[in-house]
Amino acid sequence: MYKRRFTKADGRALYLYGQRPIDDARLAGPETPGHNPAHLRWHPLLNTWVIYAAHRQDRTFLPPAERCPLCPGHEIPFPHFEVAVFENRFPALARMPAPPPPDIPIPARPGVGRAEVVVYTEAHQGSIASLTTAHRRLLVRVWVDRYRELFADEAVAYVMPFENRGEAVGVTLHHPHGQIYAYPFIPPVAATEADAFAERPVLLELLPRLRPYTIEETRAFVAFVPPFARFPYEVWIAPKRQHPGPWTFDEAELDEFADILGNVVRRYDALFAKPLPYVMALHAAPKGVERFHFHVEFYPPMRSQDKRKYLAGTELGAGTFVVDVLPETAAETLRKVL
């Protein structure tokens, strides 16, 4: 993998990754400055931080293809690229100076961290599934590189690459891309998972019993519908060996991970014969935590071809999910769909 770091005119970092040496011939054009007025406020009942980033109301929203900021020549001022990563112009967290939080009757702090955009390809249309095998394997290595670099920042406690795909989950740009948040605190889901893994190897105990729920398997990985799924057609991908994060995978495991990732998305797109909206999140260990089992979670909001699952009273008010599709049914359907 080749990597080049550039500094945009407004000071934001831009990284280009490729399978071949990277040319530095930029395109001319104006660049819009980024800014970071975000701050954090403490939620005293849930014991966690809430991020406030009101400037994100002004971010680009579903522009026509010719105005897509992720195509070559806009946010990425190069005529061609394979994978690009840049600091978000509308960040929820950023390393750039943040103003002090307002004087309020609860703890508050500046929104210091990182929010990066990961552009999977220069092509305006496509998905993880439509990338070539080599390109998808490159993307996986980009995630590993970002984990290593972001965790090196002393202000960062947790790193999460994720992807929001489809208007049903609120995506604002159709160009194939994901994001990475580097948090200055450990978010509650990661903290709860870390506590569970510290107590016992939960996934290692579960994996041998998942044969009825398995939809895809390789030498080193299993993709399965968790028997406790909270979303219809929810899928997890986990390595058969316990890894704190993909940065401990060997080269063969990185390749297998990329391959099974593409196959899961391919199954999703075949499920209803159209691209399935989803949120995908990579769950790795917080900084300094070794007893953790890295895994990927997919949350598709569709419960059928034309029916969406909405989070309603019991999910939002009580945090208890009601699921419309049995995990056993979802697993059988996803197994057979290809």
Domains located in the chain, CATH noted: 1-185 (3.30.428.10), 188-338 (3.30.428.10)
Q: Can you read off the two tokens belonging to residue 292?
A: 């953790």
Q: Classify the C-alpha dihedral 283-203-188-311 as positive or negative.
A: positive
Predicted pLDDT at 24: 78
Predicted pLDDT at 156: 96
The C-alpha angle with vertex 77 and arms to 75 and 80, in degrees rounded to 5, equals 110
Q: Please give the average per-residue pLDDT across 292-312, as a whole number.
A: 95
Encode pLDDT of 224-271 as tens digits: 999 999 999 999 999 999 999 999 999 999 999 999 999 999 999 999
Predicted pLDDT at 211: 96
Encode pLDDT of 111-149 as tens digits: 999 999 999 999 999 999 999 999 999 999 999 999 999
SS3 66: helix
pLDDT exceeds 80 at position 30 = no
pLDDT exceeds 80 at position 290 = yes
Q: Which amino acid is at 28?
A: A
SS (H, E, C) 85-110: EEECCCCCCECCCCCCCCCCCCCEEE
Predicted pLDDT at 3: 97
Q: What global pTM score does this model have?
A: 0.96
Q: Residue 113 and residue 255: Cα distance in Å, rounded?
A: 30
Strand order in the sheet with 221-224: 2-7, 13-18, 83-87, 114-119, 177-183, 158-165, 278-283, 295-299, 235-239, 221-224, 214-217
Candidate list 135, 177, 283, 293, residue with the active-site label: 177
Q: Which residue's structure tokens are 């948040």?
A: 181
Bigger pLDDT: 23 vs 124: 124
**Region label for 288, one of left (φ > 0), alpha (ψ between -120 and 50) or beta (otherwise):** left
Encode pLDDT of 169-194 as tens digits: 999 999 999 999 999 999 999 999 99
Q: Residue 124 and residue 161: Cα distance in Å, rounded?
A: 20
Q: How many residues does the chain have?
A: 338
pLDDT exceeds 90 at position 96 = no
293 is catalytic: no
Predicted pLDDT at 288: 95
Q: For 100-151, give the DSSP string.
A: PPP--SS-EEE-BSEEEEEE--SSSS--TTTS-HHHHHHHHHHHHHHHHHHH
Angle of the 327-336 helix axis to the 251-271 helix axis, nearest 10: 100
pLDDT exceeds 90 at position 319 = yes
Dihedral Cα 67, 72, 74, 75, nearest 10 deg: 120
Banded pLDDT at 100 (limits 50, 70, 90): confident
Q: Residue 53 and residue 180: Cα distance in Å, rounded?
A: 16
Predicted pLDDT at 35: 66
Predicted pLDDT at 36: 67
Encode pLDDT of 195-228 as tens digits: 999 999 999 999 999 999 999 999 999 999 999 9
Mean pLDDT of the chain: 94
Q: Please give the average per-residue pLDDT across 97-105, as a whole number.
A: 85
Q: Residue 181 and residue 160: Cα distance in Å, rounded?
A: 5
